[in-house]
């Protein structure tokens, strides 16, 4: 029953010599919250701008609701709500007037304004000038603008960026309730894994314009490699011994060794091997790396072909 | 058409509480005030002349040479500035409305605002005349003015300024910088001083408004014709350019 709402095929875009987005194939299922994760400059905003038709891809295409964005732009945009980077607001108008400016353009019902403002909890502040709004209120008004036309998919670019912890929590709570309450599919970008973990059912990891991983959170967890961390009296000898036996060994800080190994059996046999070789094992611990570490590792290295 | 009306209605709401809206009344008022004081101050000198004519030509020339071109520069820059500073282009251009309608609505809004200023200018001339007839009866302003003439001059100046309207709408939308838009407008107006004496003066857009009330019928017709046609061409080309660009 799950169908694809948003799909990109080989999406590519360069600026000068820099390939900002490199052959991205996204697939977002209806009713999911898709977290588009990547460090600064990874190409998130560039991708999102292409999803909205704000810039044109050099290659590849964007499909929304099964139709090609380049040939059905207006009908598609009528079903999409978006908040790209900072919200687009007129400071000299009230929150309500800001909504009304866009409502007039869309020609939708006035009721939509009240509803959207209620969702983001700005009903009471609706008639204050946006100039007086806090950063959190501005962001929520931006979200209300995105919700105004009752979209089927919401595209949010770093929706919590720049907010204080309370603002971040509020914004996340708002986003989290959307799929259940209104059946909206959410595509959101973030540079924080923790945020994506909290909000998303699916993740796409982008780094230097390339997609490194795409799938459900559970699949990302399954990708984790368990490791055995060892404390040995002569680490270099131990590393040699283990490598000879076919284990993958990494040097850790304070002269610990980490070995790619699964389960207690591996742990026991590694220990036995080292002891047999006359080494003293004084520390041994099975470790499941956090997603944060995995993500950090993935995006710490340059991607082949990512930059010229 | 429906989309254009929707975009216009959206634009009009943005004007609320803006300096741009106030300027529609302030700009013509300044010109009227200037000419009013010239007549008021030197009543002896002007007594016995065609005072309505003095008022009308005085107001129209200051307006056409100096105030209108700068006013167009300011209004287009202020209006586009609302979008640049609110980072609204990306929002506007992601709405399910044709991009050209967003551009056209901006242009038509400024055109409408300048038209209102033109009407205010004519009303101001009449008001100034009426006031002078009380304060300086020796000027004999109680004789009725040639209203048709007054309105016709103002409208011709307006039509000839379309080319500047279209050009400045494009500049202000295309580039974020207020300084650039203002610089172009001030430079254009400044060089008009030199161009007015030169033979190419009749082809210099910043002189079209004043040429539109020139005593030479040939100069006048050319200014209005080029003002309208040039305006239309620049409007279409500018729109084409802006809607096809990457949206910041
Ligand atoms: N208009 C542009 N001109 C030139 N380079 C650009 C332009 N827009 C983006 N880039 C470059 O493309 C790359 C990707 O930028 P993008 O804004 O998409 O990253 P991002 O993932 O959104 O990063 P951030 O987390 O900082 O928002 C960056 O190296 C950036 O410098
Ligand atoms: Mg970004």
Q: Two tokens at A161?
A: 């960026």
Q: Which residues of B touch A112 (CB under 8 A)?
A: none
Q: Which residues of B touch A104 (CB under 8 A)?
A: 6, 9-10, 13
Atom of ligand 1 nearest to the CA of A49: 18
Any A CB within 8 A of B10 CB: yes
- What tens digit of pLDDT does each residue of B82-91 get? 999 999 999 9
Q: Whole-angstrom Cα distance, residue A249 to residue A241?
A: 10
Checking if the pLDDT of A285 tops 60, the result is yes
Tell me the three-class secondary structure of chain A, residue by residue: CCCEEEEEEEEEEEECCEEEEEEECCEEECCCEEEEECCCCCCHHHHHHHHCCCCCCCEEEEEECCEECCCCHHHHHCCEEEECCCCCCCCCCEHHHHHHHHHHHHCCCCHHHHHHHHHCCCCCCCCCEHHHCCHHHHHHHHHHHHHCCCCCEEEEECCCCCCCHHHHHHHHHHHHHHHHHHCCEEEEEECCHHHHHHHCCEEEEEECCEEEEEEEHHHHHHCCCCEEEEEECCHHHHHHHHHHCCCCEEECCCCCEEEECCHHHHHHHHHHHHHHCCCCEEEEEEECCCHHHHHHHHHHCCCCCCCC
- What tens digit of pLDDT does each residue of B55-96 get? 999 999 999 999 999 999 999 999 999 999 999 999 999 999
**Ligand 1, from A42, A156, A162: best to mutate by most atoms within 8 Å of Cβ?**
A42
Task: Please report which confidence band the pLDDT of residue B97 belongs to, taking 50, 70 and 90 as the band edges.
Answer: very high
Mean of pLDDT values over A43-60: 97
Task: Please report which confidence band the pLDDT of residue A2 belongs to, taking 50, 70 and 90 as the band edges.
Answer: low
Q: Whole-angstrom Cα distance, residue B11 to residue B76?
A: 13
Task: Please report which confidence band the pLDDT of residue B198 belongs to, taking 50, 70 and 90 as the band edges.
Answer: confident
- When CB atoms are compared, the residue of A82, A100, A104 closest to B94 is A82
Q: Whole-angstrom Cα distance, residue B103 to residue A256?
A: 64
Beta-sheet pairing, A4-15 with A27-29: antiparallel
Mean of pLDDT values over B204-232: 96
Place of tokens 């520390």: A283
pLDDT: is B144 or B183 the higher one?
B183
Count contacts between A and B (CB, < 8 Å): 85
Please report the pLDDT score of residue A39 as a whole number.
94
Q: Whole-angstrom Cα distance, residue A178 to residue B229?
A: 52
- What tens digit of pLDDT does each residue of B124-147 get? 999 999 999 999 999 989 888 889
Please give all residues whose beta carbon lies within 6 A of any atom in ligand 1, as ranges: A 15, 18, 20, 38, 40-46, 191
pLDDT: is B201 or A44 the higher one?
A44
- Distance from the B218 Cα atom to the nearest Cα atom in chain A, whole angstroms: 44
Checking if the pLDDT of A1 tops 60, the result is no
Checking if the pLDDT of A225 tops 80, the result is no
Checking if the pLDDT of B177 tops 80, the result is yes
Q: Which residues of B touch A54 (CB under 8 A)?
A: 90, 93-94, 246-247
Residues with CB under 5 A from ligand 2 (ion): A 44-45
Please report the pLDDT score of residue A32 as a whole number.
94
Residues 67-106 of B with CB under 8 A from A: 82, 85-98
- Quick one: which ligand is closest to A50's CA? 1
- What tens digit of pLDDT does each residue of A110-135 get? 999 999 999 999 999 999 999 999 99
Interchain pair A88, B17: CB under 8 A: no
Checking if the pLDDT of B4 tops 80, the result is yes
Which of B95, B243, B247 is the best residue to mutate to test the A interface, defined by the most A CB atoms within 10 Å of its own CB?
B95
A108 burial via Cβ count (<10 Å: 0-12, 13-18, 19+): middle
- H or E stretch at B5: helix B2-14
Ligand 1 atom 28, closest CA: A41
Task: Please report which confidence band the pLDDT of residue A308 belongs to, taking 50, 70 and 90 as the band edges.
Answer: very low
Please report the pLDDT score of residue B41 as a whole number.
93
- When CB atoms are compared, the residue of B2, B18, B96 closest to A92 is B18
Mean predicted lDDT score pLDDT of chain A: 92
- Distance from the B138 Cα atom to the nearest Cα atom in chain A, whole angstroms: 48
Mean of pLDDT values over A72-77: 97
Ligand 1 atom 7, closest CA: A15
Checking if the pLDDT of A306 tops 70, the result is no
Which of A14, A105, A110 is the best residue to mutate to test the B interface, defined by the most B CB atoms within 10 Å of its own CB?
A105
Task: Please report which confidence band the pLDDT of residue B199 belongs to, taking 50, 70 and 90 as the band edges.
Answer: confident
Please report the pLDDT score of residue A304 as a whole number.
58
- Distance from the A43 Cα atom to the nearest Cα atom in chain B, whole angstroms: 15
Ligand 1 atom 14, closest CA: A43
Structure pTM? 0.90
Interchain pair A77, B14: CB under 8 A: no
Checking if the pLDDT of A305 tops 70, the result is no
Are the C-beta atoms of residues B184 and B171 closer than 8 Å to each other? yes
Please report the pLDDT score of residue A297 as a whole number.
77
Q: Which residues of A touch B93 (CB under 8 A)?
A: 53-54
Mean predicted lDDT score pLDDT of chain B: 95
């Amino acid at each position: 029953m799950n169908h694809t709402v948003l799909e990109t095929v080989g999406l590519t875009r360069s600026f000068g010599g820099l390939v900002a987005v490199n052959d991205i194939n996204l697939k977002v299922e209806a009713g999911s919250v898709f977290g588009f994760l990547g460090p600064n400059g990874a190409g998130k905003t560039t991708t999102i701008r292409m999803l909205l038709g704000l810039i044109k891809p050099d290659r590849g295409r964007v499909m929304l609701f099964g139709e090609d964005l380049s040939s059905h732009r207006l009908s598609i945009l009528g079903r999409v709500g978006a908040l790209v980077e900072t919200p687009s607001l007129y400071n000299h108008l009230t929150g309500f007037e800001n909504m009304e400016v866009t409502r007039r353009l869309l020609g939708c019902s006035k009721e939509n304004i009240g509803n959207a403002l209620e969702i983001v909890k700005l009903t009471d502040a609706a008639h204050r000038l946006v100039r007086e709004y806090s950063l959190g209120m501005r962001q929520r008004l931006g979200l209300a603008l995105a919700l105004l036309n009752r979209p089927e998919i919401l595209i949010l670019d770093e929706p919590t960026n720049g907010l204080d912890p309370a603002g971040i929590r509020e914004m996340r709570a708002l986003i989290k309730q959307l799929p259940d309450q209104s059946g909206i599919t959410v595509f959101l970008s973030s540079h924080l894994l923790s945020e994506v973990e909290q909000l998303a059912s699916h993740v796409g990891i982008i780094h230097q314009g390339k997609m490194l991983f795409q799938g459900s959170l559970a699949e990302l967890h399954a990708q984790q490699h368990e490791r055995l961390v060892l404390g040995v009296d002569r680490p270099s000898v131990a590393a040699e011994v283990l490598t000879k036996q076919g284990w993958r060994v990494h040097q850790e800080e304070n002269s610990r060794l980490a070995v790619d190994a699964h389960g207690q059996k591996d742990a026991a046999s590694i220990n036995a091997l080292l002891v047999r070789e006359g080494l003293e094992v004084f520390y041994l611990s099975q470790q499941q790396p956090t997603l944060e570490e995995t993500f950090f590792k993935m995006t710490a290295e340059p991607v082949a072909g990512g930059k010229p | 058409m429906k989309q254009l009306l929707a975009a216009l209605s959206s634009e009009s709401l943005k004007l609320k509480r803006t300096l741009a809206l106030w300027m529609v009344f302030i700009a013509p008022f300044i010109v009227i005030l200037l000419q009013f004081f010239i007549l008021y101050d030197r009543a002896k000198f002007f007594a016995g002349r065609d005072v309505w004519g003095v008022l009308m030509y005085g107001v129209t020339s200051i307006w056409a040479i100096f105030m209108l071109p700068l006013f167009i520069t300011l209004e287009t820059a202020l209006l586009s500035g609302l979008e640049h500073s609110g980072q609204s282009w990306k929002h506007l251009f992601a709405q399910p409305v044709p991009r050209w309608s967003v551009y056209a609505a901006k242009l038509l809004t400024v055109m409408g605002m300048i038209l209102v200023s033109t009407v205010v200018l004519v009303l101001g001339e009449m008001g100034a005349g009426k006031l002078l007839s009380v304060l300086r009866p020796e000027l004999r302003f109680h004789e009725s003015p040639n209203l048709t003439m007054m309105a016709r001059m103002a409208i011709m100046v307006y039509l000839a300024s379309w080319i500047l309207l279209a050009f400045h709408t494009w500049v202000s939308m295309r580039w974020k910088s207020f300084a650039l838009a203002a610089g172009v407008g001030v430079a254009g107006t400044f060089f008009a001083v030199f161009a007015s004496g030169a033979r190419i003066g009749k082809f210099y857009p910043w002189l079209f408004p004043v040429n539109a009330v020139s005593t030479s019928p040939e100069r006048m017709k050319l200014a209005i014709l080029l003002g309208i046609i040039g305006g239309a061409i620049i409007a279409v080309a500018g729109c084409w350019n802006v809607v096809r660009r990457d949206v910041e």
